[in-house]
């Protein structure tokens, strides 16, 4: 029951990626084609970033990164625990903040920000307290519903597109910089890969296979989403703060005038899954630092810290800067690659030392 | 197992028995002499058939011509050759005698013997097998379970004549000693499931087990963790047989005309026996109607409140104007109106259930037509809202298995939709999905075969496979578990 299947973990990560993709587009690229190229490059980089995890795979699979670190040194376990706690608090802080900030544009006036934060965090904590397999199953259901919703929006906006494929023009002020910014943006969104590292001991199949499925599905998904939004909205896509919400508001049927409210509902469910998975991992990370901490307390307290930080920043109306800050991509990269790299290196050194010890023993 | 405490003296045994039973008025003790030995036939009034006791026990005893003087031989002779009953058993304790007396046995005691012979001569009043009331079908069997466990066992055995069908009898309730029968097909159910259910039943420490609801919390792991249940109830023997074939365990409890099916899946709440008597295309169509009905019964009022109160831009202009005009005329907020109407609907439903059938229909007329009409005319509630509540109420009757969770969830969705619009609904929905995904009784996911995804099983959800396809083998519980492990 504690085990996650490949598809369930992929669904968790895809839900997270879909959430961030639905949230905003970077202003820095000039056209969606740049972003699509950037996404493809980002996928290749992410694949490369995961290599240390595959090298450290066996060690990490037996009890997770924290147990693997403890096998090398108890101090290392605490360092890794603190590192992931900090990374995940930053991750949750951004998810909660972005969610609340961009929700302002969709939700009716008079809805307090703290209410949104409390609602989404409560649901996230509930999910975070569940077993990994439950998180995986929930993500599977939510991602399926999300795909159904996307198909519905696509069908309902078929007759309302503005510019068609002409919108995929390649005119750009600086293609290189546009693609680089897109890569950074995608890497920032790729923070969900940290779930692959932290859920690895619960995974039924191999990490490499899961990563391959996730990365290829993600690329197809990003291309399809961006391609379709561009096709419907044309050049307007680069001006819309929330292009997917804008597309949903353009979709209509004889009975439903616009789908942006429904988009918001689906977006909320994706946020709950992303936060739920993050809170779960956050709880595990803090428990690696302070071992006797009860799971419930660990999850709730760390969730409260992330929510409190986000709410503080939101209450000072400073989120605009935070939302469009792409520097977080470095955190994402280090969270995915750094610790597995250290573990793989440590394991190698330890093996060599053992070998040399055995050789000395044999000589004596 | 009670200790062997029967005295060799008949008089002493009878005295002890009367003491234990506090000279209860229902005890019949018929004394007799058998081959010179004092004997007694004991029975409980109303529990045994007096005619059968006379014909199958007393007459053979009185006509007995047995020469041998040893009491042991007398007892052995009468228990093996004289009594004409099929069900008989030797008893060695007063406690067992009491239990058997009140289960419809007559007990024969012979002086000089520290054992007794109990003869099954049940003659208590029982309801005959009748048509099902809660799960009616059009083209299927029209019999249903009764309150007598033995009758219910026979209803199942008549349909499944295989020796693989196992019926294990247990009892529960320190005072009631209720008979509980566990049924399963030996090669279809994983052994750990049967073992756990037996342990769960044995763990019941209640004074009395009077209905299936008493045993359900002991068998259902998620009983207090979710609004849904991994244990379903049915009054149909044919449905029980279907589930047994699919590898489930059924529990029959004496005194209740419902069988517990363990474990039960969410998708099965939308299946009826009629599905298997119709063409697959029609069954698929009706199943989708049921899915939509369940969605409407749970979410429609909440969705309406959320959209009308928080996201009116979703409605087309004409509809929006109509709704706006109707709502403007009412004095209360929309959420309060919906809550009021839904609570009123629940009151009417409860009244209709508890009252005699004739009065029940009068309640529907008074509630539905008179109060509903008057409420709209007086401007307390709007007409569109009454339509919403009407559709919701009707839809909730389509899936009776899910009526209870639907009633609670409906109210939660109305409140969340009213307070926070679609945001509130989405948050509640996420929590609900997580809660349902966590239901994993007996290592079988409640959402199987949808989550975890099981391609062969999913066909029976989206559409119904024909019996030609079932010839190849129907997915059993073990298959679902294996699929989840992969």
Please classify residue A355 by burial: count the beta carbons closer than 10 Å to its beta carbon, then call 0-12 exposed, 13-18 middle and 19+ buried.
exposed
- Which of B421, B435, B447 is the closest to A108 by Cβ? B421
* C-alpha radius of gyration, chain B, whole number: 29
C-beta of residue A298 within 8 angstroms of C-beta of residue A286? yes
Quick one: which of B142, B75, B150, B145 has its CA closest to B120? B150
- Scanning every residue of chain B, which has its alpha carbon at the shortest distance from the alpha carbon of A265? B426
Within 8 A of A111 by CB-CB distance, chain B residues are 420-421, 423
Quick one: which of B435, B437, B324 has its CA closest to B382? B324
Mean pLDDT (whole number) for A168-173: 68
- Which of A257, A264, A269 is the closest to B429 by Cβ? A269
CB pairs under 8 A between A and B: 109
- Scanning every residue of chain A, which has its alpha carbon at the shortest distance from the alpha carbon of B422? A265
Within 8 A of B422 by CB-CB distance, chain A residues are 261-262, 264-265, 268
What structural domains and CATH numbers belong to chain A? 6-363 (1.20.1740.10)
Mean pLDDT (whole number) for A210-236: 85
- What 3-state DSSP class applies to B284? helix
pLDDT digits (tens, 9 = 90+) for A251-310: 777 778 888 888 899 999 999 999 999 999 999 999 989 888 898 999 999 999 999 999
Distance CA B218, CA B207 (A): 14
Query: What is the least distance, in Å, from the CA of A258 to any CA of chain B?
Result: 5
CA angle in degrees (0–180, nearest 5) for B356-B362-B365 = 145
Chain A interface mutation, best of B305, B316, B318, B427, highest count of A Cβ atoms under 10 Å = B427
pTM: 0.87
Helix (H) or strand (E) holding B10: helix B10-20
Quick one: which of B412, B182, B197, B445 has its CA closest to B298? B412
Within 8 A of A135 by CB-CB distance, chain B residues are 434
Q: Which residues of chain B have pLDDT under 50?
A: none
Q: What is the pLDDT of residue B135?
A: 84
Distance CA A132, CA A362 (A): 46
Q: Which residues pair with B185 in a beta bridge?
A: B165
pLDDT band with cut points at 50, 70 and 90 for residue A360: low
Distance CA B447, CA B440 (A): 9
C-beta of residue A67 within 8 angstroms of C-beta of residue A81? no
Alpha-helical runs (H) found in A104-174: 113-128, 132-156
Q: Is the pLDDT of residue A166 over 60?
A: no
Quick one: which of B202, B173, B208, B3 has its CA closest to B97? B3
Distance CA B386, CA B375 (A): 9
Q: How would DSSP label each residue in B297-364?
A: HHHHHHHHHHHHHH-GGGB-HHHHHHHHHHHHT-SS-HHHHHHHHHHHHHHHHHHHHHS-HHHHHHHH
C-beta of residue B235 within 8 angstroms of C-beta of residue B132? yes
Distance CA B223, CA B234 (A): 17
Distance CA A106, CA B419 (A): 16
Q: What is the pLDDT of residue B355?
A: 79
pLDDT above 70 coverage of chain A, percent = 90
Q: What is the pLDDT of residue A169?
A: 65
- What 3-state DSSP class applies to A350? helix
Q: What is the pLDDT of residue A9?
A: 92
Within 8 A of B314 by CB-CB distance, chain A residues are 256-258, 261-262
C-beta of residue B106 within 8 angstroms of C-beta of residue B30? no
Distance CA A272, CA A124 (A): 5
- What 3-state DSSP class applies to A344? helix
Q: Do B313 and A254 touch (CB under 8 A)?
A: no
- Scanning every residue of chain A, which has its alpha carbon at the shortest distance from the alpha carbon of B445? A1
Q: What is the pLDDT of residue A26?
A: 62
Provide the ipTM: 0.90
Q: How would DSSP label each residue in A176-189?
A: HHHHHHHHHHHHHH
pLDDT band with cut points at 50, 70 and 90 for residue A357: low
Query: What is the least distance, in Å, from the CA of B443 to any CA of chain A?
Result: 7
A94 to A124, A159, A184, A308, B2: CA distances (angstroms)? 14, 36, 16, 12, 68
Q: Do B437 and A130 touch (CB under 8 A)?
A: yes
Q: Is the pLDDT of residue A161 over 60?
A: no
């Amino acid at each position: 029951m504690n085990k996650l299947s490949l598809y369930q973990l992929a669904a968790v990560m895809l839900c997270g990626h879909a959430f961030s993709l639905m949230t905003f587009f970077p202003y820095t690229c000039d056209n969606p084609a740049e972003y699509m190229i950037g996404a493809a490059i980002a996928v290749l980089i992410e694949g490369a970033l995961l290599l240390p995890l595959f090298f450290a795979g066996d060690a990490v699979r037996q009890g997770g990164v924290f147990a693997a670190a403890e096998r090398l040194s108890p101090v290392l376990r605490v360092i890794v625990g603190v590192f992931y706690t900090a990374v995940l608090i930053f991750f949750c802080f951004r998810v909660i903040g972005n969610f609340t900030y961009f929700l302002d544009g969709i939700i009716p006036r008079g809805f307090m920000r703290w209410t949104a934060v409390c609602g989404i965090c409560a649901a996230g904590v509930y999910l975070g307290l569940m077993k990994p397999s439950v998180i995986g199953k929930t993500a599977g259901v939510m991602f399926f519903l999300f795909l159904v919703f996307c198909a519905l929006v696509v069908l309902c906006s078929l007759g309302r597109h503005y510019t068609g494929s002409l919108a995929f023009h390649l005119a750009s002020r600086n293609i290189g910089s546009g693609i680089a910014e897109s890569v950074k943006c995608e890497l920032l969104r790729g923070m969900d890969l940290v779930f692959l590292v932290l859920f690895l001991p619960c995974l039924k199949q191999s990490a490499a296979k899961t990563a391959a499925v996730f990365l290829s599905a993600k690329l197809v998904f990003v291309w399809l989403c961006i391609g379709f939004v561009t096709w419907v909205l044309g050049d307007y896509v680069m001006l819309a703060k929330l292009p997917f919400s804008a597309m949903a508001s353009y979709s209509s049927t004889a009975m439903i005038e616009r789908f942006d409210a429904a988009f918001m509902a689906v977006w909320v469910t994706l946020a709950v899954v992303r936060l739920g998975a993050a809170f779960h991992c956050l709880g595990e990370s803090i428990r690696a630092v302070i071992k006797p901490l009860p799971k419930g307390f660990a999850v709730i307290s760390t969730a409260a810290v992330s929510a409190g930080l986000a709410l503080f920043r939101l209450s000072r109306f400073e989120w605009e800067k935070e939302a469009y800050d792409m520097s977080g991509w470095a955190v994402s990269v280090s969270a995915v690659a750094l610790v597995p790299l250290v573990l793989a290196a440590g394991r190698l050194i330890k093996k060599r030392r053992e070998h040399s010890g055995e050789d000395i023993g044999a000589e004596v | 197992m009670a200790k062997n405490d029967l005295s060799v003296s008949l008089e002493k045994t009878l005295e002890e028995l009367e003491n234990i039973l506090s000279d209860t008025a229902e005890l019949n003790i018929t004394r007799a002499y058998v081959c010179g030995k004092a004997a007694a036939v004991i029975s409980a009034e109303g529990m045994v058939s007096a005619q059968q006791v006379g014909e199958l026990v007393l007459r053979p005893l009185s006509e007995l011509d047995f020469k041998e003087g040893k009491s042991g031989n007398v007892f052995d002779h009468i228990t093996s050759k004289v009594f004409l009953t099929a069900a008989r058993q030797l008893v060695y304790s007063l406690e067992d005698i009491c239990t058997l007396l009140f289960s419809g046995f007559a007990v024969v005691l012979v002086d000089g013997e520290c054992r007794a012979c109990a003869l099954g001569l049940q003659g208590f009043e029982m309801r005959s097998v009748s048509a099902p009331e809660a799960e009616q079908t059009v083209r299927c069997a029209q019999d249903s379970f009764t309150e007598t466990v033995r009758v219910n066992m026979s209803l199942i055995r008549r349909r499944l004549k295989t020796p693989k069908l196992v019926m294990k009898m247990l009892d529960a309730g320190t005072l009631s000693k209720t008979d509980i029968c566990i049924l399963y097909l030996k090669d279809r159910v994983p052994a750990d499931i049967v073992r756990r259910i037996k342990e769960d039943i044995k763990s019941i420490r209640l004074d009395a087990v009077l209905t299936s609801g008493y045993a359900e919390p002991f068998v259902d792991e998620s009983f207090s963790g979710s609004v849904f249940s991994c244990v379903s109830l049915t009054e149909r023997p044919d449905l029980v047989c279907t589930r047994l074939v699919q590898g489930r365990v059924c529990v029959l409890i004496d005194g209740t005309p419902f069988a517990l099916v363990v474990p039960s899946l969410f998708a099965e709440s939308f299946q009826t026996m009629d599905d298997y008597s119709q063409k697959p295309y029609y069954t698929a169509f009706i199943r989708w109607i049921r899915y939509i009905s369940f969605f409407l019964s749970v979410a429609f009022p909440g969705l309406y409140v959320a959209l009308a109160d928080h996201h009116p831009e979703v409605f087309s202009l004409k509809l929006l104007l109509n709704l706006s005009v109707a709502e403007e005329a009412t004095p209360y907020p929309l959420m309060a109106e919906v809550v009021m109407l839904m609570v009123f609907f629940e009151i009417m439903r409860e009244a209709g259930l508890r009252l005699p059938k004739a009065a029940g229909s009068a309640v529907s007329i008074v509630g539905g037509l008179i109060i509903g009409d008057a409420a709209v005319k007086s401007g307390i509630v709007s007409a569109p809202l009454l339509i919403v509540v009407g559709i919701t109420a009707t839809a909730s009757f389509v899936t009776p298995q899910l009526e209870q969770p639907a009633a609670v969830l409906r109210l939660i969705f109305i409140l969340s939709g009213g307070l926070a619009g679609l945001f509130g609904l989405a948050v509640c929905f996420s929590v609900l999905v997580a809660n349902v995904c966590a239901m994993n009784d007996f290592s079988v996911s409640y959402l199987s075969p949808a989550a975890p995804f099981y391609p062969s099983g999913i066909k029976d959800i989206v559409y119904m496979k024909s019996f030609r396809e079932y010839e190849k083998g129907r997915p059993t519980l073990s298959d679902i578990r294996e699929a989840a492990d992969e």
